[in-house]
Chain A
Amino acid sequence: DGGITQSPKYLFRKEGQNVTLSCEQNLNHDAMYWYRQDPGQGLRLIYYSQIVNDFQKGDIAEGYSVSREKKESFPLTVTSAQKNPTAFYLCASRDSGGLTRDTQYFGPGTRLTVL
């Protein structure tokens, strides 16, 4: 079945440690996104990539890094520079053609807790 997978579902990290969140899609979508969700707030864009080997900062990129070496994969690293990393992280991809053009497909999310 086609879709987006994120792993792990729950992640615990000690302060000062970097951690990488996985996002994989087999939908053949060019565009991929990382969002952060905090209680009582709308989703906020961290980074996005419209094509392999290219990505742009979103609204809250500080303390995060990404790579896009393969079309299927868009991992997010939460670095120790991120001041408040505890949040729910969602990955998404977007269909750029056909009847479902512009629809974003979301992964199940990773809940990161910093201890």
Chain B
Amino acid sequence: KNEVEQSPQNLTAQEGEFITINCSYSVGISALHWLQQHPGGGIVSLFMLSSGKKKHGRLIATINIQEKHSSLHITASHPRDSAVYICAVRQGGSEKLVFGKGTKLTVNP
């Protein structure tokens, strides 16, 4: 079993819909990251969380440390949001990140 599980694997939405991507992990962590990978392969860091909630524009990330779960929400989705969204966790004291397999989001106009 992967230490970081994301759901769903694939998600198709219509423009304007509210999107939720989930991430569950099985280890103690010091931080959780949400990343966005564009079709060309480049990766951009969206959020780093250790507790609570963060918001940037139409993106919201939440984390529940007790339940070992995080969600990434996209409000008023747009075709330019189409990408692979990746969850990654850093275990306490470790230099390494452990990555989920990603959620491929397609937003249709």
Interface of A toward B, CB cutoff 8 Å: 31, 40-45, 48, 50, 56, 58-59, 88, 90, 92, 102-109, 111
Q: A108-B41, A111-B41 are in contact. Are A42 and B95 (CB under 8 A)?
A: no
Residues in chain B near residue A111, CB distance under 8 A: 41
Q: Which of A40, A45, A106 contacts B96 (CB 8 A)?
A: A45
B31 touches A42 (CB 8 A): no
Please state if A42 and B90 are interface contacts (CB–CB under 8 Å): no
B52 CB within 8 Å of chain A: no
Q: Which of A44, A48, A90 contacts B43 (CB 8 A)?
A: A90
Q: How far is the CA of A92 from the CA of B101 in the complex (A)?
A: 18
Chain B residues closer than 8 Å to A106, beta-carbon distance: 35, 42-45
Q: Is B27 an interface residue (CB 8 A)?
A: no
| Chain B residues within 8 Å of A58, by CB | 96
List which B18-75 residues lie within 8 A (CB) of chain A: 31, 33, 35, 40-45, 48
**Could you write out 16 A-B pairs with CB less than 8 Å apart?**
A42-B4, A42-B86, A42-B99, A43-B88, A43-B97, A58-B96, A59-B96, A92-B43, A102-B90, A103-B33, A103-B45, A104-B33, A106-B35, A106-B44, A108-B42, A109-B41
- Among A42, A56, A92, max chain B CB count under 10 A is at A42
- The closest CB in chain B to the CB of A110 belongs to B41
Question: Chain A residues with Cβ under 8 A from B99's Cβ?
Answer: 42-44
Mark B85-99 against chain A: 1 for CB-CB distance below 8 A, else 0: 010101000011111
| A residues near B40, Cβ cutoff 8 Å | 108
Chain B residues with CB below 8 A from A108, complex form: 40-42
- Min CB distance B11 to A, Å, is 16
Closest to A48 in B: B95
Does B12 touch A at the CB level, under 8 Å?
Answer: no
Complex Cα spacing A48 to B97, Å:
11
List B contacts of A104 (CB < 8 A): 33, 45, 97
Beta-carbon contact of B41 and A42 below 8 Å: no
B21 smallest CB distance to A (angstroms): 14
Chain B residues near A90 (CB, 8 Å)?
41, 43
